[in-house]
A and B are shown apart, each in its own frame.
Chain A
Amino acid sequence: MASVMQRGFRDKLEKHVNISDKLTVEMSLNGDAEYDYCCFGVDANDKLSDDAYMVFYNQTKSPGQEIIMSRNGAAAVFEINLSRLPSKIVKLVFTANIDGAGTMKNIRSFACSLKKGGAEALRLDMSGANFSSEKAIVAVELYKKDVWRINCVASGFNGGLSDLLKSYGGSEVTPPPQEQQKAAHKVELKKGQKVNLEKPHGVSLGEIVCNLNWTQKGKAGFLGKAKSIDLDLACLYELKNGSKGAIQALGSSFGNLSSPPYIALDGDDRTGSSADGEFLRINGARISEIKRILVFTFIYDGVANWREADAVVTVKTLSSPDIIVHLDEYGSSSILCAIAMLENINNETFSVEKLVQFYNGQEELDKAHGWGMQWRAGRK
C-alpha cells in the first residue's frame, strides 16, 4: 500500500524504497489540454548546468541512461538509477506542464507516484482545486543532502515551461520543435483529396518538407535474396514567370532553395537503407514566385514492385499537421508514380492533392499534367 504524500511532504528516500534498485517516477495529468513531462537533473545551485540532463520527449535519455523517459498511455514514466548519476547532479525535479492554452485549475486530476519494481511506494493525487493559474507543476524532487531524499513540492509556475527553464537556468535549451509537439496530428489523404497547408497568420509559410520513405524488405526465407529497390523522389515545377523544370537526382538537377526555383532535393538515398528516406524542400517564403509543384517518385533500379516498397510521402510544415500520402495502389508495373500536386493558393499557402497515378516515364507525366517540356534520356 503506497504512502500518500501531500504538498510539503519530505522524507528520506530509503525509508520508502531501496534506492540501489531502479526506481520509477510516473506522472499523469488528466484534462483537456496537451501535457508535457520533464525531468531536470540539476546541480547543487539548483541549476541545469548540463542540458543533457533535461530529459523530456525530445531527449528521452540522459547521457549515461541514468534517466530514461517513456510513455505509458497518458502517463510519463521516468526510470531512474540514482546511484549512477554523476556527483554534480544532486537533484532530480519532475515536472508537468501544459502545452498551449489552459491552466492547472482546469485539470481533472494529476497523479505522481514513486515505484520500485512496479509497486507503488509513494503517491500524490491532486485535482484542479489545488491550483489556480499555474501552467506548470513541480511534482516531486528527489535530492541528495547527505542521503537521497524526496520533497513533494506539488506547486507550480504560471509561466509554464519557460518559467521552469528560467527557474533552473536552462533557458539555453532549444524549445521543443513544433514538429515534435504536433506529432500526434496527422492527416492522411485519400486519393483525389485536396487540403490546404495551414499557415500561421501574419508569418511566412516557412520551409515545406516532402519526405519519401519506403521499406526495404529483408531477404525472404533462408535461401532468399534481398532485392533492393531504389526509389527516387523528384518533382516538376512551374514558376509564376513561366520557367519550368524538373528536380531529380537523374541529371543531377538538385535545385536550389535560396534562388529559383526555391526547391531543392537532398542527397539521393540509393538503397533505402537510410531510415529517413529522401527529402525535397520548398522555400515557403518565396511562395509568390511558385505556381505549382508536382511531386513524383520513380524506380531507377529494380522491378516496379510498389507493394514491396510500401512508399509513404509526408508533407511537413512548421504549423500544419503532417500530410500523409500513402502509395496504396500496387497493381501497376509502371516505373513512375505521381504522388501529389502542390498548388499556390493566393500566394498564401499551398494546396496538397493526393494523386497516386502511374506513368511510364517523365515525358508521359509531363503530358498528362500539361507541363509542356522537352524530354530526353538522362543518367545519374
Chain B
Amino acid sequence: MAVSLSKGQKVDLTKTNPGLTKITVGLGWDTNKYDGGFDFDLDTAAFLLADSGKVASDADFVFYGNKDHNSGAVKHNGDNLTGAGDGDDETISIDLSKIPAEVAKVDFTVTIHEAEERKQNFGQVSNAYIHVVNETSNEELIRYDLGEDYSVETAVIVAELYRSGAEWKFNAIGSGFAGGLKALCGNFGVNV
C-alpha cells in the first residue's frame, strides 16, 4: 500500500523499504479535453543538486535533451509529446546506489513546453501526480497527487529525493512557478 502524501509532507523512502535501490519515478497528468488551441506537451526533468541547491554542472540536469546522467544513476525514459494515454505519461529511472556522493538531492519537475506561445498553464492540467515505484517489484511506494493549487503557473517543482544520513527521503514540494523550464534552470544553476 503506497503512502499518499499531501503538499509539504516528507516521508522515509529507504528506511521503510530496506535494500531498495532501483526505483521508477512516474509522473502523469490529464490535459485539455477541449477543441481548439495546441496539444499540451508537458516535460519532466530531474535536477541532481549539491548541498547548495545548485547543479555542479549542466550535465546534472537530466531531461529530454540529456536523457542519461553520466553516473548511470538517473535515466529519463522518453518524452511524451501529447499527454495522451492512461497511467504514467513520463518516467525517470533511478538507481539510488549509483547517485554520486556530492549529490545531496534530486528534484523532479514538470514544465509546459512553449507554454507562453501556446497560452497554456497548469490551471488547464488536471489529475497531475508523481509516484515512486519499486522497479524490481513494481510496487507503488509513495504517491503524491498535486491537487487543485495550480493556476497560471507554467513550471512545478513536484517533489524531491534527499539524503538524510545514509537514507533517502521523499519531500512532496508542489511549488509552482512562472517562466517554464527556463526559469527552473536559472533557479538550479543550469546555463541555458
Does A155 contact B34, Cβ atoms closer than 8 Å?
Answer: yes
Does A10 contact B33, Cβ atoms closer than 8 Å?
Answer: no
- Chain A nearest CB from B129 CB (Å) reads 15
- Asked if B100 is at the interface (CB within 8 A of a chain A CB), the reply is no
- Asked if A157 is at the interface (CB within 8 A of a chain B CB), the reply is yes
- Asked if B19 is at the interface (CB within 8 A of a chain A CB), the reply is no
Chain B residues near A285 (CB, 8 Å)? Answer: none
Complex Cα gap A177–B123 (Å):
36
- Chain A nearest CB from B140 CB (Å) reads 23
- Asked if A252 is at the interface (CB within 8 A of a chain B CB), the reply is no
Does B150 contact A10, Cβ atoms closer than 8 Å?
Answer: yes
- Known A-B contacts A9-B152, A11-B151; the reply to A151 vs B35 at CB < 8 A is no
Of the candidates B32, B33, B148, which one forms a contact with A145 in the assembled complex, judged by CB atoms under 8 Å apart?
B148
Complex Cα gap A302–B147 (Å):
72
Name the interface residues of A127-151: CB closer than 8 Å to any CB of B.
131-134, 138, 145-146, 149, 151
Does A8 contact B123, Cβ atoms closer than 8 Å?
Answer: yes
Name A153's closest neighbour in chain B (CB-CB). Answer: B34
- Asked if B121 is at the interface (CB within 8 A of a chain A CB), the reply is yes
How would you classify the secondary structure of chain B's contact residues: helix, strand, loop or mixed?
Answer: loop
Chain A residues near B152 (CB, 8 Å)? Answer: 6, 8-9
- Asked if B82 is at the interface (CB within 8 A of a chain A CB), the reply is no
- On chain A, which size bracket covers the interface? 20 to 34
Does B123 contact A10, Cβ atoms closer than 8 Å?
Answer: yes
Name the interface residues of A147-193: CB closer than 8 Å to any CB of B.
149, 151-153, 155-159, 163, 167
- Asked if B37 is at the interface (CB within 8 A of a chain A CB), the reply is yes
Complex Cα gap A149–B122 (Å):
15
Does B36 contact A155, Cβ atoms closer than 8 Å?
Answer: yes
Complex Cα gap A8–B32 (Å):
10
- Chain B nearest CB from A134 CB (Å) reads 5
Does A134 contact B151, Cβ atoms closer than 8 Å?
Answer: no
Does B151 contact A132, Cβ atoms closer than 8 Å?
Answer: no
- Chain A nearest CB from B180 CB (Å) reads 14
Name the interface residues of B149-180: CB closer than 8 Å to any CB of A.
149-152
Name B151's closest neighbour in chain A (CB-CB). Answer: A10
Does B123 contact A151, Cβ atoms closer than 8 Å?
Answer: yes
Chain A residues near B124 (CB, 8 Å)? Answer: 7-8, 153, 155
Does A158 contact B35, Cβ atoms closer than 8 Å?
Answer: yes
Does B33 contact A167, Cβ atoms closer than 8 Å?
Answer: yes
Give a binary string over B108-134; 1 marks a CB under 8 Å from any A CB, 0 the rest. Answer: 000000000001111110000000000
Complex Cα gap A149–B36 (Å):
25
- Known A-B contacts A7-B119, A9-B123; the reply to A157 vs B35 at CB < 8 A is yes
Interface centre among A9, A10, A155, A159 (most CB of B within 10 A): A10
Does A145 contact B147, Cβ atoms closer than 8 Å?
Answer: yes
Does B148 contact A134, Cβ atoms closer than 8 Å?
Answer: no
Name B124's closest neighbour in chain A (CB-CB). Answer: A8
Interface centre among B34, B121, B122 (most CB of A within 10 A): B34
- Chain B nearest CB from A38 CB (Å) reads 16
Complex Cα gap A146–B34 (Å):
25
- Chain B nearest CB from A95 CB (Å) reads 11
- Chain B nearest CB from A194 CB (Å) reads 46
Complex Cα gap A163–B34 (Å):
10
Chain A residues near B32 (CB, 8 Å)? Answer: 155
Chain B residues near A145 (CB, 8 Å)? Answer: 147-148
Does A152 contact B123, Cβ atoms closer than 8 Å?
Answer: yes
Does B123 contact A157, Cβ atoms closer than 8 Å?
Answer: no
Does A157 contact B34, Cβ atoms closer than 8 Å?
Answer: yes
Complex Cα gap A151–B124 (Å):
9
Using a CB–CB cutoff of 8 Å, the interface residues on chain A facing chain B are 6-11, 131-134, 138, 145-146, 149, 151-153, 155-159, 163, 167
A-B contact pairs, 19 of them (CB 8 A): A7-B124, A8-B123, A8-B124, A8-B151, A10-B123, A10-B150, A132-B36, A133-B35, A134-B34, A134-B36, A149-B148, A155-B34, A155-B35, A155-B36, A156-B35, A156-B36, A158-B36, A159-B35, A163-B35
The 6 A-B pairs with the shortest beta carbon distances in the complex, nearest first, are: A8-B123, A155-B34, A8-B121, A8-B124, A158-B35, A10-B151
Instruction: Taking A6-B152, A155-B124, A156-B34 as given, write out 7 further A-B residue pairs in contact, using a Cβ cutoff of 8 Å, ordered by the A residue number.
Output: A7-B121, A8-B123, A133-B36, A151-B123, A155-B36, A156-B36, A159-B35
